[in-house]
Amino acid sequence: MRAEPAPAVRVRGLENRFGGQIVHAGLDMEVRRGEIFGVVGGSGAGKTVLLHTILGLRRADAGSVELDGRAVERLDEEQRRRLARDVGVTFQHGALISSLDVRENVKLPLREHLGASERALDRVADLNIALVGLPPDAACKYPAQLSGGMVKRAALARALALEPKLLFLDEPTSGLDPISAAAFDRLLLYLHAQLGLTVVMITHDLDTLFGVCDRVGVIVEKRMVSGTLADMLESPQPWIRDYFHGPRARAVRKERDG
């Protein structure tokens, strides 16, 4: 009998502290390959801290993190470099370098990991810019010349440049108007299907949660409760009930149910 493949992301017993403040205390999280997994939680729940810990940008005080079956805390420099090629990340405000145009921003990971000519890098960057639905002339624009939605797409083009298996998105629709946010959600579903991505997404956008995510992990009381949206709607946990049965959530569900 063949063994089941390791999950794309596995977090066990995670603890994160800042001085006397405990952010996570025994948090467990598992993301299956090929799914879109949403992470939600109240202000101060430690969503971004969790993301930084999973990516190895912060060392946990206790617990373990595995990406694609590899223990992040045990990787040497070369192993981390190889893992970085398999992981794409976008941060909340895009994190584009303001002094570089979109093409040069997208080329940053390509230049770091690929020994190719500038002409080849330009071609790959332009393909990724087109992949996320940006017009060709966006390649020569600087971040300050882009709309909020275009910044999000440019950041996504950079995150996808190395054809990662695993994509992390930090509040990808925050700051966008409803039309732009819905367009980004449709783009994400398209890319997920076409590229076979596993996606982990921090979001507070209920439209995104109900329209895009296969499962959800809610950080409450310094741990995580995971399940489908149906599971969340049945949860007796007070914060989860308030979040998924509040006026906005009811409006989203009513709109989706027609």
pLDDT for res 131: 92
Quote the number of domains for the chain.
2
- The better pLDDT of the pair 7, 112 is held by 7
Determine the 3-state secondary structure of 255 from DSSP: helix
Q: What average pLDDT score do residues 198-227 get? A: 94
Query: Is the same domain home to 148 and 205?
Result: no
Query: Is the same domain home to 78 and 102?
Result: no
Domain end position, chosen among 112, 146, 163? 163
* 129 within a domain of the structure (yes/no): yes
pLDDT for res 226: 96
pLDDT for res 79: 79
Cα–Cα separations (whole angstroms), residue 50 to 29, 38, 63? 10, 13, 12
Query: Is the same domain home to 211 and 236?
Result: yes
184: tokens are 């980004």
Determine the 3-state secondary structure of 142 from DSSP: coil
* Separation between Cα atoms, residue 54 and residue 60, nearest integer Å: 9
E strands, 34-118, in order = 36-41, 62-67, 70-71, 87-90
pLDDT at 1 over 80: no
pLDDT at 118 over 70: yes
Q: What average pLDDT score do residues 157-168 get? A: 92
- Phi/psi of residue 20, nearest 5 degrees: -85, -5
pLDDT in tens, 3-54: 567 899 999 999 999 988 999 999 999 999 999 999 999 988 999 999 999 9
pLDDT at 185 over 90: yes
255 confidence band (pLDDT: 50, 70, 90): confident
Query: Is the same domain home to 143 and 211?
Result: no
pLDDT for res 153: 92
- Which range, of 113-117, 233-237, 239-243, averages the lowest pLDDT? 113-117
The long-range contacts involving 248-252, CB below 8 angstroms and separated by at least 24 positions, are 248/206, 249/206, 252/206, 252/207, 252/210
The one-letter code for the residue type at 104 is E
Query: Is the same domain home to 152 and 171?
Result: no
pLDDT in tens, 67-93: 988 888 887 788 777 777 889 999 876
Determine the 3-state secondary structure of 22 from DSSP: strand
* 3 within a domain of the structure (yes/no): yes
Q: State the CATH number of the domain containing residue 67.
A: 3.40.50.300
* Separation between Cα atoms, residue 173 and residue 93, nearest integer Å: 10
* 27 within a domain of the structure (yes/no): yes
pLDDT for res 2: 56
* Separation between Cα atoms, residue 252 and residue 34, nearest integer Å: 25
pLDDT for res 202: 94
* 182 within a domain of the structure (yes/no): yes
pLDDT at 138 over 80: yes
What is the layout of strands, in order, in the sheet containing 70-71? Answer: 21-31, 9-18, 62-67, 70-71
Q: Which domain holds residue 22?
A: 1-86+164-258
- Which range, of 11-15, 60-64, 138-142, 147-151, averages the lowest pLDDT? 147-151
Domain end position, chosen among 134, 163, 192? 163
H/E run at residue 18: strand 9-18
* 246 within a domain of the structure (yes/no): yes
Query: Is the same domain home to 254 and 133?
Result: no
pTM, 2 dp: 0.91
From the number of C-beta atoms within 10 Å of its C-beta (0-12, 13-18, 19+), residue 221 rates as exposed
* 159 within a domain of the structure (yes/no): yes
Query: Is the same domain home to 27 and 82?
Result: yes
Query: Is the same domain home to 8 and 32?
Result: yes
* Separation between Cα atoms, residue 211 and residue 213, nearest integer Å: 6
Domain end position, chosen among 163, 193, 210? 163
- The torsion angle over the Cα atoms of residues 155, 89, 96 and 120, rounded to 10 degrees, is -70
Query: Is the same domain home to 54 and 103?
Result: no
From the number of C-beta atoms within 10 Å of its C-beta (0-12, 13-18, 19+), residue 156 rates as buried
Query: Is the same domain home to 79 and 175?
Result: yes
* Separation between Cα atoms, residue 237 and residue 235, nearest integer Å: 6
Query: Is the same domain home to 226 and 171?
Result: yes
Q: State the average pLDDT for the chain.
A: 89
Query: Is the same domain home to 82 and 22?
Result: yes
* 91 within a domain of the structure (yes/no): no
